[in-house]
Chains A and B, each alone.
Chain A
Amino acid sequence: AQSVAQPEDQVNVAEGNPLTVKCTYSVSGNPYLFWYVQYPNRGLQFLLKYITGDNLVKGSYGFEAEFNKSQTSFHLKKPSALVSDSALYFCAVRALNSNSGYALNFGKGTSLLVTP
């Protein structure tokens, strides 16, 4: 089964410091990996994806993610955190659904808190 794991329930970082939100994956075949962000009382917003190619993927709002095949990881990073980055972050993997077609399997989510 295609799955992702987010080992941290919460990440705290001071504004201006670099941030990392961790994600590891377990897939058979080539992984298609995604990061989404959810602000309070909102839907999920797409940040970035890895399909193939460069291991460093750049996305929205200054976020980037590093695909590491040997460590089966896809960590989300940002060089300098903003208070407005505080939100819930989900890693996801495309999976072939047992019924029919493809869908996304989400990790449990990591709450990011950036303090002034």
Chain B
Amino acid sequence: QVQLVQSAGEVKKPGASVKVSCKAFGYNLNTYGITWVRQAPGQGLEWMAWISTYNGDTKFAHKFQDRVSMTTETSTRTVYMELRSLRSDDTAVYYCGREFCDGDRCYLPDYWGQGTLVTVSS
């Protein structure tokens, strides 16, 4: 069955970078991409970025396009999301999700990872 398993939580200092992984099971990576969504404490869901695990195409929310990068390691079916220049307001639970995109349009995730808490604190 479809499953996404994320890496464990991390504590980082302001200005540092964090890399979160998402390992995919149970479906064809050529058909769906991986999206990253975060939820800060007491806040709502925030869509960050998407990567095609087929050809590496990416889409970004404007506020993240300069600080987020994503890579796919096809051999291990793992997607990595790196967020740079961390600030205290980046403290959040980061979720990966399986998302189908058709050309310029995406349909939002159907399956989700368990979430990774990233805490940014000096």
A binds B: no
Binding site for B on A (CB under 8 A): none
Residues on B facing A (Cβ under 8 Å): none
